[in-house]
Amino acid sequence: MDIREPLTELHSTLLFQRLAELDTAYADRATSFLEAVAPILASTAGHFPYYTRHDAHHGFRLLRRVEQVIVPECLDGEGPTAFSAAEIYLIVLAAYAHDLGMTVFPREADKLLAQLRIPQSSGWETDPCLQLYLRREHSKRGGLYVYENSGNLRMPVNLVDALDKIMRAHNLSIGELEAQIPQSYAAEEKLIDVRQLAIIICVADALEFSDTRVVDGVLAAIESDPSPEARKSYLENMKHVCVGDGLAIDTDGRIIVSGTFDEEEVLALAHLTFDQMEGWIRGYSDLDRQMKSPRLRIRAEPFVRNLAFVDGRFERLGVRLNKRNVIELIASSAVWRESGPVIRELLQNAVEACRYRRHHSSPADSYQPHVIVTFDRERREIVVMDNGCGMSERVVLNNLLTVGSSRSAEPGYASSNYAPIARFGVGFWSVFTLAETACVETASFEACRGDPTGATEAPGIAFDVSLSELKEYTVFRPVTRPCGTIIRLKLRPNIVVDDAFTNARAEILCSDVPVTLRIDDDEVSIPLALPDVPHEALLGSRHRVLEEHGLQLFGWHGALGKTELSLLLAYRMENGKPTFLCDRTNSVMNALGGIRYSRSTICGFAAPIRVRHICFDLGRVGTYYANRGTPDGVAYSLDRHQLIENASSEEYSKEITSLIHDGYRAFLGATNGRDLATVAALRQQAAMHGGSVHDEFTGGELSVAAKSFPDLTPFKLYPLSGGEPIYAQADQLGSLRGKVLFMQETPSVKLTDGRIASLDNEGEAGIPYAREILSPRFLGTTEPIYVMQPDRSASMLFDADPDSTVLYLPAGQFGHACIQLVQFERIDASQPGNILAQVGGRWAGAIYLRDFEAPADKPYAFLGRHRVLIRRSSKLAIHFQDLAQSGRYARLADFVADLREDQAGYPPASVVTLLSGTLT
């Protein structure tokens, strides 16, 4: 098809001819508009030379598509479906102007380039920063240009906003279009449904395939450009070349597309494009069907595709799913092991609906959100009711009943600084682990904005879903009800209503949307903000321990960034100082009855998260509640049992850690415990009874402590020569000189009767033994020599010294004691470990390369369960380095496990030759 002069093309369209019949003034205005914008549109190619056509001819082709997608009555007749002159005028202008902002306007270059900080040198027209800006902002820019130049464009001012809305529509998701574009405008003393006109333009733009869409010379220019961007443009252009004008609409409204392809990537892209188009057409058609007078004649069903591949058989195998099996899997106990997360999904959806409606409501709506979940023992029902945003028929079909399609994925749903809680689009189907049938009533609030009275009696739909009778259709019954949703679950016979209530209650800690849980006549109101940790969370039923052991409780509440936290600690006061001891050998953990687990939530809903680098063993002496007030960026596992690690979860974890330390500092200040001796003692006391695991690689713990909470991580150092210990904060270690030694391996000996005798070197009890063993070796040494308790703090120092080592010194009846040695001058917290590898498998832990001498000349030394030292100059070290460099970490783990066997006296053949001596 030839490309003709823009005005000639416009005047040949049925739309313009009908416009001229109805109103010559509007027709003249449309002609003037096109005369003004056609040169501007032509300049788009200067900024996007590899793009398909976005000039006036594209607007003409779009008008031709409009004529094909609408019912004939739009252009022929006087009925309610017929277009008015103003409506045709808006369609014509939008067809040409919807991409108007994709170029730099006349006399705009200097100001725009300065704004974007782009030098006005050769090639600025295709600067990537400029291209990104024009693509991102073009729908807003076009409307603003029309407004500022409405006089020159002969554009009636009263229609500028309506045109702007239609122009922006093609850049909006279905949900954004529905939410942001109002229906009612007026012109010629008649109503204009701007949303419907926008839908028509969007459908026509989506279907605009033609044999002139590719600009002459583009493919030749792309061939000489090896960049990924050029390759992408090549595929997009070739998609249009191969289809050309092979997209048509038959008399029944079905869309038929045909084409011939000789490159598989191009054909795959074409199929993907048509998949997306089918979704758009379905959504636009759903909205059009809700209009008072539907105007689209196309059918919302899969395209008829006749796409030929000339070089073989192209089969879109992809992933084939058995719908029933997938739904049954999603709704099975394989995913949802308890009833709590299932009710949580519905409750979370209800809270989400209220959050969304509140976000998009104005004061005139007088909106007061609420959610009520009722557990009915007698009727064996669970009913979740909210007065949130509700759902249209389109949302129900495309999201609620479409597996894996979450409304939260729509760009418009998460826009305007709004972050949705919902994620996967499978939560609704989880209810069938509990229910035989789900009965749903819902009414969308969109049409009732600004009309509080209308929101109480809105048009809605009702429908039922049953997994046992999974039908290929859904029957929607009209209902009149308040905006919002109610879901009634008819429970399975094996479901215990009370258990479902208890499990659901454990899933929510707080909610900024009022939530009420009811079970018969009992009612629980969920707190609107993070509550203080109740005493029961720490004490359970053991309230008497406060009096029995003289315990006190310290509570604290604080906020940082997006996180709020409440903290509760149990302690005693002794000699005017706080202590975590009940007596000399028991910490408060024993009085409390074990470790207490904390609760972390997102928007009040349970979201277990791994919190790192806390300066003391909090769970042994206290607990906390934490809540992140926004779900922005958060990713969950499918069953919501875990947060997936990403930047947002890392931020949440760091904020929790900082708040715990702020609360701990407040505790120390309130109890006269800020001195380093007390802080060090509390740290050791909190780690009693199994804490302070020291036989694993500590990584960057020392660096974090030195930067973030040095005052809460003091190191207690005992001079070897005797006397009182000294204390150093984590950020003061660099000022120390000399050596520090500690005995983390427990010396032991096998007695004649088979029993094992061990040296008690834990805690302060081991300091005298360490001094006794070390004194002969370091007698007369002039540099400072210190001894430490064999705890995790000592391991942090060992890992921060790249040449830390071990000494084997005589220990009387125990033979030799393994003593770890660190040189303060070598400590570098920013480069922790200097380890060969961390591995997992038959053995899991860290492998260190160090210089040392061990009894029986063994080239390895185990430091607990998860650390092993390999002598640098040994055959074993060379072999281990080769395995690490080739990434064979599983093999490394196997070799270390074999070394364990050798240590036990059963040397495997795999290590015998590697243990035979030192390389020369």
How is 785-817 classified by DSSP, letter by letter?
A: EEE--SSHHHHHHHHH-TT-EEEEEE-GGG-EE
Q: How confident is the model at residue 919 (pLDDT cuts 50, 70, 90)?
A: very low
Give the number of C-alpha atoms closer than 13 A to the C-alpha of residue 638, restricted to the C-beta side: 15
The top-scoring range by mean pLDDT among 45-59, 569-583, 732-746, 758-772 is 569-583
Stretch 620-634: mean pLDDT, rounded?
Answer: 91
Lowest mean pLDDT among 322-336, 364-378, 712-726, 750-764: 322-336
| pLDDT given for residue 72 in this prediction | 92
Kindly report, residue by residue over 860-917, the tens digit of the pLDDT: 999 999 999 999 989 999 999 999 999 999 999 999 999 999 998 899 998 888 887 5
Lowest mean pLDDT among 332-346, 446-460, 538-552, 811-825: 332-346
Give yes or no for a contact between 759 and 747, defined as CB atoms under 8 angstroms apart.
yes
Q: 210-239 in b/e burial notation, b at 16+ Cβ within 10 A?
A: bebbbbeebeeebeeeeeeeeeebbbbbbb
| pLDDT given for residue 630 in this prediction | 87
Q: Chain-centre distance of CA 793, in angstroms?
A: 34
Of the candidates 598, 594, 556, 553, which has an alpha carbon nearest to the alpha carbon of residue 571? 553
Task: Report in angstroms the alpha-carbon separations of 284 from 46, 197, 281, 371, 478.
Answer: 33, 11, 5, 31, 21
Tokens linked to 794: 């000592």
Q: What percent of the chain has pLDDT over 90?
A: 58
What is the pLDDT of the chain when averaged over all its residues?
87
Q: What does DSSP say about strands 371-376 and 845-850: parallel, antiparallel, or unpaired?
A: unpaired
Of the candidates 107, 102, 127, 100, which has an alpha carbon nearest to the alpha carbon of residue 116? 127
CA separation for the pair 507, 515 (Å, rounded) = 13
Lowest mean pLDDT among 413-417, 781-785, 802-806: 413-417
Q: How many CB atoms lie within 10 A of CB 397?
A: 18
Q: Is 114 left (phi over 0), alpha (psi -120 to 50) or beta?
A: alpha
Q: What does DSSP say about strands 255-261 and 304-309: parallel, antiparallel, or unpaired?
A: parallel
CA dihedral 568, 569, 570, 576 (to 10 degrees): -130
Give yes or no for a contact between 387 and 372, defined as CB atoms under 8 angstroms apart.
no
Of the candidates 841, 854, 833, which has an alpha carbon nearest to the alpha carbon of residue 696? 833
Residues of the chain by 3-state class (helix, strand, coil), percent to 5: 40, 20, 40
Q: What are the backbone angles phi and psi of residue 619, rounded to the nearest 5°?
A: -60, -15
Q: What does DSSP say about strands 563-574 and 622-628: parallel, antiparallel, or unpaired?
A: antiparallel
Q: How confident is the model at residue 1 (pLDDT cuts 50, 70, 90)?
A: low
Rounded to a whole number of angstroms, the distance between the first and last alpha carbons of the chain is 83
Tokens linked to 653: 């974890």
Task: Report in angstroms the alpha-carbon separations of 145 from 303, 326, 656, 694.
Answer: 37, 50, 48, 67
CA separation for the pair 156, 72 (Å, rounded) = 28
pLDDT value at 831 more than 80: no
| pLDDT given for residue 342 in this prediction | 75
CA separation for the pair 212, 24 (Å, rounded) = 30
Give yes or no for a contact between 255 and 303, defined as CB atoms under 8 angstroms apart.
yes
Q: How many CB atoms lie within 10 A of CB 614?
A: 17
Kindly report, residue by residue over 139-172, the tens digit of the pLDDT: 889 999 999 999 999 999 999 999 999 999 888 8
Bridge-partner residues for 599, per DSSP? 625
Q: Is 583 left (phi over 0), alpha (psi -120 to 50) or beta?
A: beta
| pLDDT given for residue 421 in this prediction | 62
CA separation for the pair 920, 911 (Å, rounded) = 19
Q: How confident is the model at residue 803 (pLDDT cuts 50, 70, 90)?
A: very high
Q: Is 171 left (phi over 0), alpha (psi -120 to 50) or beta?
A: alpha
pLDDT value at 321 more than 50: no
Stretch 80-94: mean pLDDT, rounded?
Answer: 94
Q: How confident is the model at residue 833 (pLDDT cuts 50, 70, 90)?
A: low
Give the gyration radius of the chain's Cα atoms: 36
Give yes or no for a contact between 826 and 803, defined as CB atoms under 8 angstroms apart.
yes
| pLDDT given for residue 733 in this prediction | 92
Lowest mean pLDDT among 387-401, 616-630, 716-730: 387-401
Which residues fall within 8 angstroms of residue 657, CB to CB, at 6 or more apart?
Answer: 611, 612, 613, 614, 708
| pLDDT given for residue 322 in this prediction | 47
pLDDT value at 638 more than 60: no
Kindly report, residue by residue over 429-440, the tens digit of the pLDDT: 777 778 888 899
Give yes or no for a contact between 283 and 394, defined as CB atoms under 8 angstroms apart.
yes
| pLDDT given for residue 375 in this prediction | 95
Helix (H, G, I), strand (E, B) or coil at 737: coil
Stretch 39-44: mean pLDDT, rounded?
Answer: 94
The owner of tokens 């959504």 is: 283
CA separation for the pair 520, 515 (Å, rounded) = 16
Q: What percent of the chain has pLDDT over 70?
A: 91
Stretch 216-230: mean pLDDT, rounded?
Answer: 87
pLDDT value at 443 more than 90: yes
Lowest mean pLDDT among 237-241, 321-325, 431-435, 581-585: 321-325
The DSSP element (H or E) to which 504 belongs, if any, is: helix 497-505
pLDDT value at 637 more than 70: no
CA separation for the pair 147, 96 (Å, rounded) = 15
Give yes or no for a contact between 616 and 320, defined as CB atoms under 8 angstroms apart.
no
Stretch 832-847: mean pLDDT, rounded?
Answer: 90
CA separation for the pair 658, 920 (Å, rounded) = 51
The DSSP element (H or E) to which 785 belongs, if any, is: strand 785-787
pLDDT value at 468 more than 80: no
Kindly report, residue by residue over 247-288, the tens digit of the pLDDT: 999 988 999 999 999 998 999 899 989 888 888 898 888 888
